[in-house]
Amino acid sequence: MPKVNLKLLAFFMFPCWQKFSQFLLPNYCLLCQVNFAPDGLCEACEAELPWQQACCPICAEPLEVSLLCGRCLNHLPNFDQAIAPLCYEGAVKQLITQLKFSEKLACANVLASLLIKHLSQDKQFIKPDLLLPVPLHAKRIQERGFNQALEIAKPLAKALNIPLKHHFLYKKIFTLPQVGQSFAARKKNLKNSFALRGKLVGQHLGLVDDVMTTGSTVNEIAKLLKAQGAARVTVFAVARTGG
């Protein structure tokens, strides 16, 4: 039997082991891949994050001043407030994209920690009675393997000490992707596509998602929740797009 050169084997195996160890314990920054970051994000990259400076106090749309946006002035949404501390651009967009399409679940913890950090500094924050992640249709979960909103909601619920019900709200109709569709088309696409397993009378509910674009999805869900007796609906999104 030929002898195995252990040094040569270790030389070729090291890159594989390094990737495997980073998968289990991601010690390096998920963005720059250079700086040591046991929490997933180094100080340099965190300092460059696009935090919102001003936004609509209802739907969290980025604005130059914190006043009601034109859409909310014309017609208030079904939810009572949306909290989205970051802009969907740059590093934040990279983290969310890595989570959704590259299966880097460690990004969910980082994104949740950023949301938690913002809420801890918000003196007007009202803690909801329970959290509901924005659901994906069963077919979409089968394709992706997970629901990114649920992965963000898990550490958020733990940090805030709020019950998380991820089977209560579900998507009963498989719809086309929302990307690239107009506000009207998004609204029509999502109509009556969600359902509940029971009622939540008189409760303050928190809806959790990764990114909020036009708000069509959370608005449709909030409409359903209010119809089933919810007293208040607050949307928690990591990031918000403009316009």
Same domain, 20 and 100: no
Residue 78 reports pLDDT greater than 90: yes
Band of residue 156 on the pLDDT scale cut at 50, 70, 90? very high
The pLDDT tens digits for 118-147 are: 999 998 899 999 999 999 999 999 999 999
Q: 88 with 173, same domain?
A: yes
Least confident span in 2-11, 35-44, 86-95: 2-11
Which of 115, 108, 95 has its CA nearest to residue 52? 115
DSSP state of 164: B
Give me the pLDDT at residue 7, please. 41
Judged by average pLDDT, the poorest of 11-25, 60-74, 147-161 is: 11-25
Same-domain check for residues 99 and 167: yes
Read off the pLDDT of residues 5-15 as tens digits, 9 standing for 90 and up: 444 334 334 34
Burial 18-48 (b: 16+ CB within 10 A, else e): eeeeeeeebebbbbeeeeebeebbbeebbee
- Residue 130 and residue 203: Cα distance in Å, rounded? 8
Residues 166 and 100 in one domain: yes
Q: Could you give the number of structural domains in the chain?
A: 2
Task: State whether 19 and 67 are in the same domain.
Answer: no
226 and 114, same structural domain? Answer: yes
Listed in order, strand segments (DSSP E) in 3-68 are none
Q: Answer whether 176's CB lies under 8 Å from 204's CB.
A: no
pLDDT single digits (tens) 173-206 = 988 665 655 556 666 667 788 999 988 899 999 9
Give the domain range for residue 61: 52-240
pTM: 0.84
Beta-carbon count within 10 A of 104 CB: 17
